[in-house]
Structure 1
Amino acid sequence: MLNLYIIVFLLLITNISSSSDLPRISCYRISGVPTRNNDIEGETYKSSLRFIGKTSPVTEILINQANFYWIGLISIGTPKRTFRIDFDTGSTDLWVPSIQCHSSCENKAKYDSNKSNTSRANGAAFRIVYGDGSFANGVFVNDTVTIGNLSILNQAFAQAKNISGFSTSTFDGVLGLAYSSLGTSGQTSIFYNMWQQGLITNPIFSFYFNPDPDAYPGGELIFGDVDPTKYSGSITYANVIIHAYWEFMMNNIQVNNTIICSNCRAILDTGTTLIIGPKIQIALLHRTIGAIFDEETGLYMVDCYTRLLSSFPDVNFSIGNSTFTLSVLQYLLIFNDDDKYICYTVFQGVNLHDNTGALIWILGDYFLNRFYSIYDLNLNRIGLAKSISYDYFQLSPISLFTYSNKTIQFSFNPIFIWLLFVCNILLK
């Protein structure tokens, strides 16, 4: 049985006076490698997709990210109570467990309004439902939310009295960073309040994720600007077309000479682990790559024992005037099962829709690991640039790609094994 390993997330934020002093969160990945269990009972793991019912119904249960996500620390109340938070560009509301949440909130920090001098009653009802049926519900309250030494006064957030599907997650709650239209009506999101209260110089935030599991820190969320030390080259911008998710138009996705989709809609979502696309388009992508569908996991697998690395094509995403490329060692997941290595891709087919009913692509963490992402509320646009960690490649067993001409030092990295273990649900 593989040992679990944990890298604790830290919070490092300073006063606002210049670009280098903007509020930022140093993100550290918490990763675990569970034992294999194809009959998971009780509460499900949290889905990697964050949809709240304002979209078309989502019936598929997706691969979770219970042991692969990015969190930081915030504090709520006076005196302060610290919470481990998952920052999510695919939802809007902030919620943490309430002191009234009992069995389903074990081992999580809880908010007690009676112990905060700055707590104010709100009373609005809260409920959020995720793609796998997990949920949180409760009631809104207003209090001071602190990120480092930056305090957002009278911030509305939900104290969750009931949660389901989070018993295995190491974070306490979720802080949404999408547009207000996805949030609970009448409540102002924390990022909007940061800007309205004059706490940040620009209504922009940006993410850097490092795909190297041993990197310290593992990433950064910065409020108010971008960090030019975390990307190379120029930034490509695309306009947000619907003010809900951070949704924009891609020119196309291309593999070799095959166009997988044209004029396709996409969102950037830090709350999604994989890269998700419509089933038909994902099937075409995998036929071009040379992958076959594995019904047990809902993923596509490839032969990585005898195929040359050079036989795997790049996957190219055309956005704006730029092409964002994922090469084979950037889109394969490699794990060990009874001393046999199995290789899957990070692309998964699920028919999901935006608020207009159009099919969408979701560019999750395996895309954002390679490309620095910017979210500009003032100009309603997203920005992408090549991450400084773009060239990191996951380490793999030396027995794989045996006939490859490439000389790469391989050693097995177990970070991806959970993807198969927790996915015991067929996507039909």
Structure 2
Amino acid sequence: MAFKYLLVVTCVCAWFASLAASDKELLRVGLRKRSLDINSFSSARIREAVHHLKPDTVYLKNYLDAQYFGEIGIGSPPQTFRVVFDTGSSNLIPYGHGHIPGFFSQDNLRVGELIVKDQQFAEITKEGPLAFLAHHFDGILGLGFLNKSVGQVTPVWYNMIEQGHVTQKIFSLWLNPDPMSKIGGEIVFGGIDWRHFKGDHTYVPLTHEDYWQIEVGDILLANNPTGLCAGGCAAIIDSGTSLIAGPTKIVTQINHAIGAEGYVSYECKSIIHNYGDSIWEYIISGLCEKLPNPVGQTFIDCNSIDTMPQITFTIGNKSFPLSPEQYMLRIEEGCSTVCYGGFVPLDVPPPQGPLWVLGDLFLGAYHTVFDYGNLRIGFAEVA
């Protein structure tokens, strides 16, 4: 899915179910957070990993408030790599844009304390000049479906099941958006961790067996229906995607309501304001707004968060609201703060579209269970 590069995204595939297993049966992947600064927000990628001492547990750092990655080992003895756990792909292979040359190899894979034997993976021989610029990870570990695997290589998750490493065909995801927390979240293979959610999960069936895809209903803007998805829209649940992407018609309404403006417009205004001449007010309110916004990035006034509307997704006939704090990113630069809007346009024509991609901003609000055994996904409010 080529749009991921423009959205500054990463996919974390997970399959988790409603049944909880004992700690000895679970493999956890934890997440850590790191602040985002103004100079690197547009290339925000993944957050570096740290290994926790708890058995069968790997904790990850949340790098630049955008994406998450963890540590694995390949070989005997294992060589360490930091990878994105990617629901949007199915191979163990570097993450980038476009085509990359390389070859397949096979060796043992360590994830936490588990050893997946004879795992096939891709070794990349050449990458684009900007592919890994400012990135803190080495590749991706795809946890998607076999029928989307390049070369029909068996995905890591399938081998975990086949080799008896998990007793339940599920895994769950908790993201921690608290910038002050050292742990940015956790992925649990083979079960769920009840400490990370409140109430029961709402489960909905997959509508497409190639992706972790479900159906969403109407999207509400300050409790008012937008109407476009009243009859149902497809949505890919992608924990590797930093932002939330959706049809331009709805995203435009949302961005207008929250006062979001494009990156070019924001930069234009910043430069013009430096002149301090009121005559430029006309240009600021006119020309700047008409400049193109090629990458879909938007900025919002950090001081207006209290007045911004709630955005609600309808899933399984239930409401899943996002507060302004949950659908925006804060970019820190010294003593100043810039707020980054979390909605970007994505137009996919029928029959696949209209399509939403619900990324980390959505998943930070809702503990998510990816149930491979029953082909469904569940959501519960984070604890």
Alignment partner of 2:126: what SS? Answer: strand
Q: What do the CA deviations read for 1:221-262 (whole angstroms, capped 9, x no partner)?
A: 110111111100110111111112211000221113232532
- Looking at structure 2, the residues matched to 299 and 271 of structure 1 have their Cα atoms a distance apart, in angstroms, of 18
> Within 5 Å, which residues of 2 pair with 1:313-328?
313-328=309-324
Alignment partner of 1:330: what SS? Answer: coil
Q: What do the CA deviations read for 1:174-193 (whole angstroms, capped 9, x no partner)?
A: 00111122211321000011
- Looking at structure 2, the residues matched to 304 and 216 of structure 1 have their Cα atoms a distance apart, in angstroms, of 24
Quick check: 65-74 or 217-226, which moved more?
65-74
Q: What do the CA deviations read for 1:355-409 (whole angstroms, capped 9, x no partner)?
A: x542311111111111111111111111111111xxxxxxxxxxxxxxxxxxxxx
- Contact 1:265–1:359 at 8 Å: present in 2 too? yes
CA distance 1:214–1:279, change in 2 (3 Å): same
- Looking at structure 2, the residues matched to 308 and 205 of structure 1 have their Cα atoms a distance apart, in angstroms, of 34
CA distance 1:27–1:302, change in 2 (3 Å): closer
**Which amino acid in 2 is paired with 1:377?**
Y
**Which amino acid in 1 is paired with 2:176?**
N
Q: 2:206 aligns with which of 208, 231, 240?
A: 240
1:362 counterpart residue number = 357
Higher RCO (C-alpha under 8 Å, 6+ residues apart): 2
1:284 counterpart residue number = 253
- Looking at structure 1, the residues matched to 180 and 336 of structure 2 have their Cα atoms a distance apart, in angstroms, of 24
- Contact 1:67–1:169 at 8 Å: present in 2 too? no
- Contact 2:246–2:357 at 8 Å: present in 1 too? yes
Residue 266 of structure 1 and its aligned partner are, at CA, apart by 0.6
1:371 counterpart residue number = 366
- Looking at structure 1, the residues matched to 348 and 135 of structure 2 have their Cα atoms a distance apart, in angstroms, of 24
**Which amino acid in 2 is paired with 1:73?**
E
- Looking at structure 1, the residues matched to 32 and 153 of structure 2 have their Cα atoms a distance apart, in angstroms, of 29
- Contact 1:195–1:203 at 8 Å: present in 2 too? yes
- Contact 1:87–1:175 at 8 Å: present in 2 too? yes
1:25 aligns with 2:29: yes
Alignment partner of 1:379: what SS? Answer: coil
Residue 28 of structure 1 and its aligned partner are, at CA, apart by 2.1
> Within 5 Å, which residues of 2 pair with 1:5-16?
none
2:242 counterpart residue number = 273
Unaligned runs of 5+ in 1: 1-16, 39-44, 49-64, 97-127, 389-428
Residue 73 of structure 1 and its aligned partner are, at CA, apart by 1.2
- Contact 2:218–2:225 at 8 Å: present in 1 too? no
- Looking at structure 2, the residues matched to 338 and 23 of structure 1 have their Cα atoms a distance apart, in angstroms, of 38
**Which amino acid in 2 is paired with 1:287?**
H
- Contact 2:170–2:369 at 8 Å: present in 1 too? yes
How many correspondences in the alignment? Answer: 313
- Contact 1:33–1:67 at 8 Å: present in 2 too? no
- Contact 1:302–1:343 at 8 Å: present in 2 too? yes
- Looking at structure 1, the residues matched to 213 and 103 of structure 2 have their Cα atoms a distance apart, in angstroms, of 29
Task: Tell me how large the CA RMSD over aligned residues is.
Answer: 2.8
Residue 33 of structure 1 and its aligned partner are, at CA, apart by 2.9
Alignment partner of 1:143: what SS? Answer: strand
Percent sequence identity over aligned pairs: 33
1:195 aligns with 2:161: yes
- Looking at structure 2, the residues matched to 341 and 26 of structure 1 have their Cα atoms a distance apart, in angstroms, of 27
Higher helix proportion (structure 1 or 2):
2
- Looking at structure 2, the residues matched to 196 and 339 of structure 1 have their Cα atoms a distance apart, in angstroms, of 52
- Contact 1:28–1:218 at 8 Å: present in 2 too? yes
> Within 5 Å, which residues of 2 pair with 1:302-313?
302-305=300-303, 307=304, 309=306, 311-313=307-309
CA distance 1:46–1:141, change in 2 (3 Å): farther
- Contact 2:45–2:67 at 8 Å: present in 1 too? no
- Looking at structure 2, the residues matched to 175 and 302 of structure 1 have their Cα atoms a distance apart, in angstroms, of 34
CA distance 1:214–1:302, change in 2 (3 Å): closer
Q: What do the CA deviations read for 1:320-345 (whole angstroms, capped 9, x no partner)?
A: 13211111222233446797654442
1:158 counterpart residue number = 122
- Looking at structure 1, the residues matched to 44 and 147 of structure 2 have their Cα atoms a distance apart, in angstroms, of 23
Alignment partner of 1:191: what SS? Answer: helix
- Contact 1:372–1:387 at 8 Å: present in 2 too? yes
1:10 counterpart residue number = none
1:71 counterpart residue number = 69
**Which amino acid in 2 is paired with 1:219?**
G
Alignment partner of 1:324: what SS? Answer: strand
- Contact 1:94–1:173 at 8 Å: present in 2 too? yes
1:211 aligns with 2:206: no
1:138 aligns with 2:102: yes
CA distance 1:338–1:136, change in 2 (3 Å): same
CA distance 1:29–1:301, change in 2 (3 Å): closer
- Looking at structure 2, the residues matched to 195 and 36 of structure 1 have their Cα atoms a distance apart, in angstroms, of 38
- Contact 1:71–1:86 at 8 Å: present in 2 too? yes
- Looking at structure 1, the residues matched to 116 and 191 of structure 2 have their Cα atoms a distance apart, in angstroms, of 18
1:259 counterpart residue number = 226
- Looking at structure 2, the residues matched to 186 and 32 of structure 1 have their Cα atoms a distance apart, in angstroms, of 37
- Looking at structure 2, the residues matched to 18 and 325 of structure 1 have their Cα atoms a distance apart, in angstroms, of 29
Alignment partner of 2:125: what SS? Answer: strand
Q: What do the CA deviations read for 1:19-59 (whole angstroms, capped 9, x no partner)?
A: 22211122223555363799xxxxxx5889xxxxxxxxxxx
- Looking at structure 2, the residues matched to 79 and 339 of structure 1 have their Cα atoms a distance apart, in angstroms, of 46
Residue 308 of structure 1 and its aligned partner are, at CA, apart by 7.3
